[in-house]
Structure 1
């Protein structure tokens, strides 16, 4: 049933919106606190304080690996590669993105963040293999 893959895709889309809200709140706080003025960031965002820059970087990250995730979800549904294993891999990817965000906008420990990113990338590679097996 294709719905097994639709739910993690919807969850990933929701998470992207959550990260966008976090970004907006952190930027608003930077303006409200006086840490930055609009004219200082109208061309480059380098003047934002670190919390706002981390949220911005993480928001950008949501349009990197997740693009591959969404493509794989659509391909998997198209070729009927909608097993429970594929659904588990999709949920693993979504969970990895949530944890990655929490690390990135929190303590920002690069080794841990990289490991979590790797888990998500491996989940996508396994999903790709699942789609490939379905079409061969």
Structure 2
């Protein structure tokens, strides 16, 4: 199999995005497990809803949950880009998106400043839209050349 450098960089970005989700899940575990083990949080209080958790857990949990929103569209788009053969422009868009997700998660689990968090989110959304628009244009050109 002959994999291009662009494809390798795109795959690396996808792995970095996946690593963010897994890292946040690990971080969430470092918050939840000690709280339950010390009796600070009762299992009955969290079995069906999140109200029993303190703010710090909510921040980490929300940051983790966010990795299954916009990034899902990234994964689908990356699969399409790999099918077409990703361009350097697409690789750059994907890496910038992943960086925006790391910034978004960092703000989420630290001071949770809503304006900074939204700014990181919005930048990622714009990058993701540009990526999808690029893919649509490539599809239209490919369909026109059939």
Query: TM-score, normalized by length of structure 1?
Result: 0.94
- For 1:32 and 1:96, how far apart are their aligned partners in 2? 34
Query: TM-score, normalized by length of structure 2?
Result: 0.88
Match of 1:98 among 98, 102, 113: 102
1:16 aligns with 2:25: no
1:93/1:120 contact within 8 Å kept: yes
Matched residue count: 135
1:6-62 residue CA offsets vs partner (Å, 9 max, x unmatched): 110011111110010011111123224432111111111111011111111111111
Map of 1:43 onto structure 2: 48
- Structure 1 stretches of 4+ with a deviation exceeding 4 A read none
Cα distance, 1:78 vs. partner?
A: 1.2
Larger Rg: 2
Q: Using the TM superposition, name which of 61-70 and 40-49 deviates more.
A: 40-49
Cα distance, 1:112 vs. partner?
A: 0.6
Q: How much is the aligned-residue C-alpha RMSD, in angstroms?
A: 1.1
Runs of at least 5 residues in structure 1 that lack an aligned partner in the other structure? none
